[in-house]
């Protein structure tokens, strides 16, 4: 059987088993529903936003929330609601892409380290432990400083900041699974390493990694917002929740709504991600396996 | 026994700090931009440039540069800031006390308040309190630090006028930064304390203590607390790094001097020696935090001592 179809089947089973159960609880349904809605809003932003996010109107700058600008306008008279809606696009896509990259790289490294062991494992884990002890914002700041500000470097900075987490987690799963009888049996039956790794180890190791990945998207959104706030993320006029707050600081006393609403968007999204992630952990019953790493 | 463990742990720090110092040394060579360009006056010749490069020792072999650099570091000689044109040691000495005060207070705040809240919620176990704690913990671990800082400034400094908006004059300027950094820490410590206490309550020895007729208070403070402290101390020691990370953002928002704001400014100006010194100090603090955590853990739990040494 091909690897791709196997992975697809694993993911499919995983999704059917857990997502449905996570939605079954009240909190899971509210949080999950909100996230689905948010993704839809991000996709259909141009049709939903009441105004053009870049349209300036200096005659109407710093207008308080009201009609027709429901959440007010910023220093250039741009509609805050429209910018928050388009900002969802930037924040979600940057964070999700970054975490996907981080997860893929971390799973590969962690699985290889856990399976092959030896010098390779020690080398990988030394580097990983080194970055693990550093705060994610410092790692991201250094990386952005090296390759310069922008959305691409923000994406890679977030990916690198969380790489250690996925590597450690995957390795811990693989090391634990390797001791199980069914793996020993497969090895004794003469299976190839690639077969054992892809067919038996990864499918059993993947659930905690996916859940942590889901939770990490929340952390990634906060990190993206922080980098944007330092002026290192999205460059004007691209709206991102962090960048909006960055330009809003100068107007903090004059028009606080420019800062308040993007922040509310970040906070509510991250809270929803966390609540849904918690429900997933409960539905999959993997709390103990997350502690090992 | 515990001395032996501490010594071994210190030995393990040598390769780790060596690799960190190499990384920090190399990072700076990957940064784009050249501070020498900033120093050159308009219309200066390539000879002027070569002279400046030689003056800062940037023309030597990388390995030589590394050993010269690390040797100087050991003597507290951090070199000359290229853009600010002052000894880096002075800059660090000037900014470090601010970061230490802020970090230390935030650490104290999050550990005392966090452990108190965690203990209360584990002992009382009232559904309303439980829900409140869950919400608080969720907020503390999800709200971005800089946004919380801005909201606090907006409410307490602008609307109420209780604290200064920015700067570092007197204790009033410390309240909001400490609250901002501490908030996430309080939530984390409270959660860990609560879980540890609840787990400990389920142990057989607790049932025995109850059967012996000890009061709940005695059981809590004499028997459960020492048991529950282990994960709390570990998380607090690891937290030192995160407090420093939080300090970077918070110092920036509140316009406070400190290692974090020094680092951000130096990153923007490509001031190599300052960036290196700041990163080295932060890395040192993170490593010390992990070391303290491990040693404290080992002194409380003999199983760890024996496994690792």
Q: What is the DSSP string of A89-116?
A: HHHHHHHHHHHHHHHHHHHHHHHHHHHH
> Can you give the length of chain B in residues?
309
In this predicted structure, what is the pLDDT of residue B308?
47
Q: CB neighbours of A188 closer than 8 A, spacing ≥ 6?
A: none
Q: pLDDT band at A146, cuts 50/70/90?
A: confident
- Please give the residue that has the higher pLDDT: either A233 or B36: A233
Average pLDDT, integer, range B250-272: 81
Nearest to B150 among A230, A259, A271 (CB): A259
Instruction: Closest CB to B147: pick one of A147, A245, A275.
Output: A245
Question: What percent of chain B clears pLDDT 70, i.e. is strictly above it?
Answer: 87
* A272 or A24, higher pLDDT: A272
CA distance A162 to A75: 35
Query: CB distance from A271 to chain B under 8 Å?
Result: yes
Identify any residues that bridge with B87 across adjacent strands, giving them in sequence order. B80
Distance, first Cα to last Cα, chain A: 31
A141-151: average pLDDT: 79
Query: Which residue's structure tokens are 């044109």?
Result: B85
Torsions phi, psi for A73 (to 5 deg): -125, 160
Task: Note the maximum CA span of chain A.
Answer: 77
Would you state the pLDDT for residue A102? 95
User: B52 or B198: which carries more pLDDT confidence?
Assistant: B198
pLDDT value, residue A12: 66
Q: Which residue has the tokens 């020792």?
A: B57
Distance to chain A for B267, nearest Cα, Å: 7
Supply φ then ψ for residue A70, to 5 degrees. -55, -40
Distance between alpha carbon A217 and the CA centroid of its chain, in Å?
A: 2
pLDDT 10s digits, A183-209: 888 888 877 877 888 888 888 888 888
pLDDT score, position A97: 95
Contact B272, B30 (CB under 8 A): no
Between CA B138 and CA A214 the distance in angstroms is 16
Residue A67 predicted with pLDDT over 80: no
* SS3 (DSSP) at A49: coil
Instruction: Choose the closest CB to B142 out of A252, A256, A270.
Output: A270
Domain ranges of chain B: 94-308
What are the residues whose beta carbons fall under 8 Å from the beta carbon of A276, sequence distance 6 or more? A22, A28, A31, A32, A35, A214
pLDDT over 50 at B187, yes or no? yes
CA B217 to chain centre: 34
Q: Which of A108, A110, A212, A104 is nearest to A159 (CA)?
A: A104
Residue A3 has pLDDT above 60, yes or no: no
Looking at residues B2-13, what average pLDDT do you find? 78
Indicate the SS3 state at residue A65.
coil
Average pLDDT over residues B67-82: 76
Cβ separation B267–A145 shorter than 8 A: yes
- Residues of chain B above pLDDT 90, percent: 0
Query: What's the mean pLDDT in B190-216?
Result: 81
- pLDDT one-digit tens code per residue, A93-140: 999 999 999 999 999 999 889 888 888 888 888 778 777 777 788 888
Residue B58's alpha-carbon distances to B39, B82, B292, in angstroms, are 14, 12, 37
CB B147 to CB A263 under 8 A? yes
Measured between CA atoms, how close is A266 to chain B, in angstroms? 8
> Would you state the CATH architecture of domain B94-308?
Orthogonal Bundle (1.10)
pLDDT digits (tens, 9 = 90+) for B151-163: 888 888 777 777 7
The string of DSSP letters for B85-96 reads: -SBHHHHHHHHH
Query: For A21-35, A220-234, B34-48, which range has the lowest pLDDT when averaged over its residues?
Result: B34-48
What's A58's DSSP letter? G
B189 min Cα distance to partner chain A (Å): 16
Which helix (H) or strand (E) segment holds residue B32: the answer is: none
Check pLDDT > 70 for residue B20. yes
Does residue B82 sit in helix, strand or coil?
A: coil
Is the pLDDT at A1 greater than 50, yes or no? Answer: no
Residue of A145, A164, A240 to mutate when probing chain B, most B C-beta within 10 A: A145
Rounded-to-integer distance, Cα A131 and Cα A57, Å: 46
Q: Could you tell me which residues come within 8 angstroms of residue B118 by beta carbon, excluding any fewer than 6 positions away? A: B189, B190, B191, B192, B193, B194, B197, B232
Give the mutation candidate from B150, B269, B284 for the A interface (greatest A CB count, under 10 A): B150
Going by C-beta distance under 8 Å and a sequence separation of 6 or more, which residues neighbour residue B116?
none
A215 — contact with chain B (CB < 8 Å)?
A: no
The answer to whether A126 contacts chain B (CB < 8 Å) is: yes
Which of chain B's residues have a Cβ under 8 Å away from the Cβ of A260?
151, 154
Residue B102: Cβ-neighbour burial (10 angstroms; 0-12, 13-18, 19+)? buried
| Residue A102 or B266, more confident | A102
Which residues of B sit within 8 Å Cβ distance of A?
16, 19-20, 23, 27, 30-32, 138-139, 141-147, 150-151, 153-154, 158, 238, 241-242, 244-246, 248-249, 252-253, 263-264, 267, 275, 279, 282-283, 286-287, 290
User: Hey, are the CB atoms on A274 and B142 less than 8 Å from each other?
Assistant: yes
* Band (B69; pLDDT cuts 50, 70, 90): confident
> Would you state the pLDDT for residue B309?
41
C-alpha A69/C-alpha A41 separation (Å) is 18
Q: Mind listing the pLDDT tens digit for each residue in B167-180?
A: 666 777 788 888 88
The mean pLDDT value for B47-72 works out to 75
Calculate mean pLDDT across residues A43-68: 77
User: Do residues A91 and A75 touch, judged by C-beta distance below 8 A?
Assistant: no
Q: What pLDDT, on a 0 to 100 scale, did the predictor assign at position B36?
A: 67
Q: Which domains does chain A have, with CATH numbers?
A: 48-267 (1.10.3720.10)
HEC states along B133-171?
HHHHHHHHHHCCHHHHHHHHHHHHHHHCCCCCCCCCCCC
Q: Cα separation of A234 and A88, whole Å? A: 12
Query: Which residue in this structure is represented by tokens 């660090």?
Result: B92
Contact A203, A281 (CB under 8 A): no
ipTM for this prediction: 0.78
Give the pLDDT confidence score for residue A159 in this predicted structure. Answer: 93
B287 three-class SS: helix
Q: What are the tens digits of pLDDT across the range B84-139? A: 778 888 888 888 888 888 888 888 898 889 888 888 888 887 788 878 887 888 88
Distance CA A253, CA A258 (A): 10
């Amino acid at each position: 059987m091909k690897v791709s179809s196997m992975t697809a089947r694993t993911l499919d089973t995983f999704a059917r088993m857990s997502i449905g159960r996570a939605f079954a609880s009240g909190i899971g349904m509210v949080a999950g529903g909100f996230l689905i809605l948010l993704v839809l809003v991000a996709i259909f932003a141009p049709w939903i936003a009441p105004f053009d996010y870049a349209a300036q109107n200096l005659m109407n700058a710093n207008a308080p929330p009201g009609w027709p600008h429901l959440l007010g306008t910023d220093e250039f008279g741009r509609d805050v609601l429209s910018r928050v809606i388009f900002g969802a696009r930037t924040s979600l896509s940057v964070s999700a892409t970054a975490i996907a990259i981080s997860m893929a790289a971390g799973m590969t490294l962690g699985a290889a380290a856990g399976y092959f062991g030896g010098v390779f494992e020690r080398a990988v884990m030394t580097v990983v432990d080194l970055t693990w002890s550093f705060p994610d914002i410092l790692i991201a700041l250094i990386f952005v400083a090296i390759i310069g500000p922008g959305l691409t470097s923000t994406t890679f900075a977030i990916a690198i900041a969380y790489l250690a987490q996925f590597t450690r987690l995957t390795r811990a799963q693989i090391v634990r699974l390797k001791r199980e009888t069914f793996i020993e049996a497969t090895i004794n039956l003469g299976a190839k390493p690639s077969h054992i790794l892809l067919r038996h180890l990864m499918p059993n190791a993947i659930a905690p990694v996916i859940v942590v990945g889901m939770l990490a998207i929340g952390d990634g959104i906060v990190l993206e917002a922080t980098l944007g706030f330092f002026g290192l993320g999205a460059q004007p006029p691209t709206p991102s929740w962090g960048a909006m707050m960055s330009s809003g600081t100068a107007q903090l006393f004059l028009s606080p709504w420019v800062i308040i609403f993007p922040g509310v968007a970040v906070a509510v999204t991250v809270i929803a991600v966390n609540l849904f992630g918690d429900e997933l952990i409960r539905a999959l019953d993997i709390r103990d396996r997350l502690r090992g790493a | 026994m515990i001395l032996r463990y501490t010594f071994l742990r210190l030995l393990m720090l040598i390769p780790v700090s060596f690799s960190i110092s190499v990384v920090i040394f190399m990072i700076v060579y990957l940064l784009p931009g050249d501070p020498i360009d900033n120093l050159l006056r308009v219309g200066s010749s390539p000879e002027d440039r070569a002279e400046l490069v030689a003056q800062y020792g940037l023309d030597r072999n990388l390995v030589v540069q590394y050993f010269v650099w690390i040797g100087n570091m050991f003597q507290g000689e951090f070199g000359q800031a290229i853009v600010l044109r002052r000894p880096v040691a002075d800059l660090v000495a000037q900014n470090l006390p601010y970061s230490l005060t802020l970090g230390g207070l935030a650490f104290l705040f999050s550990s005392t308040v966090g452990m108190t809240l965690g203990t209360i919620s584990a002992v009382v176990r009232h559904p309303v309190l439980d829900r409140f704690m869950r919400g608080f913990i969720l907020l503390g671990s999800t709200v971005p630090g800089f946004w919380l800082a801005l909201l606090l400034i907006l409410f307490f400094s602008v609307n109420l006028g209780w604290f200064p908006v920015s700067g570092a004059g007197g204790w009033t300027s410390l309240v909001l930064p400490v609250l901002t950094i501490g908030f996430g820490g309080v939530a984390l410590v409270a959660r860990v304390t609560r879980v540890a206490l609840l787990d400990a309550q389920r142990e057989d020895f607790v049932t025995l203590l109850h059967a012996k007729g000890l009061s709940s208070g005695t059981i809590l403070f004499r028997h459960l607390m020492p048991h529950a402290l282990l994960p709390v101390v570990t998380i607090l020691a690891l937290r030192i790094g995160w407090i420093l990370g939080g300090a970077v953002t918070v110092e920036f928002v509140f316009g406070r001097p400190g290692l974090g704001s020094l680092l951000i400014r130096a990153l923007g100006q490509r001031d190599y020696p300052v960036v290196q010194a700041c990163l080295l100090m932060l890395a040192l603090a993170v490593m010390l935090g992990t070391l303290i955590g491990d040693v404290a853990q080992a002194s409380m739990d003999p199983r760890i001592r024996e496994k690792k040494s």
